[in-house]
Amino acid sequence: MAEKTFRVPQVDERGHLTGAALEGVRELIPAGGADGWTAERQAKAQGFWVEHSTEPPAEETKYGVPVVWLREGTFTEPTPVKPYRPNPNYRRRTITIPLQAGLSWKIDGEPASPGEHVVPGDAFTPVAVTAEASDNFKLAAPGSWPFQFGSLKGRVLVASDVFAGREGEILIPPVPEENRAGRHPYAIRDGARWNNAAGGTAEVRWNQHGVGEHTIGGVVKPDGWVVGADGAAVNTGIKNLEASLVFNTGTPNVSVEIEVSEVTASTPFTLTFGQPKQIMNSTSKVTPSVRMNADGTSVLDERTQDGVVSTINAGSPIGVWRFDCLDGRVVITAPSGERAVQDFSPLAPSEYGPYSKLFIGESNAVKIKSFKLYASPSR
């Protein structure tokens, strides 16, 4: 049988010849010939790098681009692909969809190509971006993201509470010893009225339940919040739910701004909107939350009705945090300008309660300078 001649592109990742000559091979050439081809050049040109293997690759990126895994062997089983989060720019009102093999994309149900898309207008606009698997692929993670552009129109500042100049004040003082006998353990304990020092005229008041103290491990600890010499309030006692700050908003459809001045311990920072009663364990499913860390970072989760879809580094926790709630859909804006939507909708009529509360998971963890409450004039 006559010997055949083959041209085999057998090269290493730098485009150099590698290995011994194969039987029956007369000539080895770099792939692409003399044009300077390298694996890195090809990866960057096409926007992804394909790995053929029987097991998933250990790294999600290579040569600075996403890795696409193609399973070796039979193609009867779809290849998993993890969609990357589209990148919103809320100031420019754009969404950039990444280029990924094995995926197609939709914006609000309409097909969309990878690249930058403009959200028109300046209104408060919800946008849903969805990734769908192409033939022979399947999603390895949820592929739907809610984004919210613009600001709610028509909400005005109705109340505020500023803690500067109130050193030593306990926002919700404990019940005096002489008044505790026979008191119901869940009786409401009213605290300070908001001073409206930053604007607003509505009457909002802090409250908790119980006597204001708990014995934990033989030590009496307060439930209340105390204003320090720096003009910031902090929970100095227990870290239980009893230390929540409950306040009357009239409806869950409000916006709350909270100015954080210091974070000394990593903790969840959770608001509840629409609880039906003043008592701290009155429940509502609208519970947007942030993770604030003592190392100067914070984390936001994006949450759809199906659960958490992605986690965002929101930058420093110091500054003003804003929570906009509308019918169970909450937009959280960090001091950095980073934003996440946490969707708890739909709400039943019974879930539009008149109270809200703030719960911080660790005591002495987060210092707060002020609160501001915004609502529609008809509130």
The single-letter DSSP state of residue 98 is P
Is 75 within a domain? no
Whether 169 and 288 share a structural domain: yes
Is 229 within a domain? yes
Q: Which of 216-220, 228-232, 359-363 has the lowest mean pLDDT?
A: 216-220
Taking the model in full, what pTM does it have? 0.74
When comparing pLDDT for 367 and 153, which is higher?
367
Is 203 within a domain? yes
pLDDT of 224: 80
Is 362 within a domain? yes
Q: Which of 51-60, 109-118, 268-277, 345-354 has the lowest mean pLDDT?
A: 51-60
- List pLDDT tens digits, range 227-254: 999 999 999 887 877 789 999 999 999 9
When comparing pLDDT for 258 and 214, which is higher?
258
Whether 178 and 128 share a structural domain: no
Question: Which pair of tokens denotes residue 196?
Answer: 């409206």
Whether 311 and 355 share a structural domain: yes
CA dihedral 339, 275, 193, 370 (to 10 degrees): -10
Is residue 360 a contact partner of residue 235, using CB atoms and an 8 Å limit?
A: yes
**What single-letter amino acid sits at 342?**
Q
Tally of residues, the chain: 379
pLDDT at residue 22 above 90? no
How many distinct structural domains can be found in the chain? Answer: 3
Question: Which pair of tokens denotes residue 166?
Answer: 């109130």
DSSP 44-67: HHHTSEEEEESS--S-SEETTEEE
Is 49 within a domain? no
Whether 227 and 344 share a structural domain: yes
Residue of 42, 79, 49 whose CA lies nearest to 65:
49
| pLDDT band, residue 16 (cuts 50/70/90) | very low
- List pLDDT tens digits, range 281-318: 777 999 999 999 999 999 999 988 777 778 999 999 99
pLDDT of 47: 82
Is 52 within a domain? no
Whether 247 and 336 share a structural domain: yes
Whether 349 and 229 share a structural domain: yes
Query: What residues make up the domain containing 289?
Result: 156-375
- List pLDDT tens digits, range 54-93: 888 888 899 999 988 877 765 568 899 999 999 999 889 9
Whether 120 and 84 share a structural domain: yes
Report the 10 Å Cβ neighbour count for 167. Answer: 12
Whether 92 and 140 share a structural domain: yes
Whether 214 and 285 share a structural domain: yes
Whether 205 and 303 share a structural domain: yes
Report the DSSP pairing between strands 366-375 and 255-263.
antiparallel
pLDDT of 357: 95
Q: Rounded to whole angstroms, how far apart are CA atoms 14 and 11?
A: 8
Residue of 299, 373, 366, 305 whose CA lies nearest to 338:
299
pLDDT of 35: 55
pLDDT of 375: 97
Is 47 within a domain? no
Domain end among 114, 149, 184? 149
End-to-end CA distance of the chain: 93
pLDDT of 36: 65
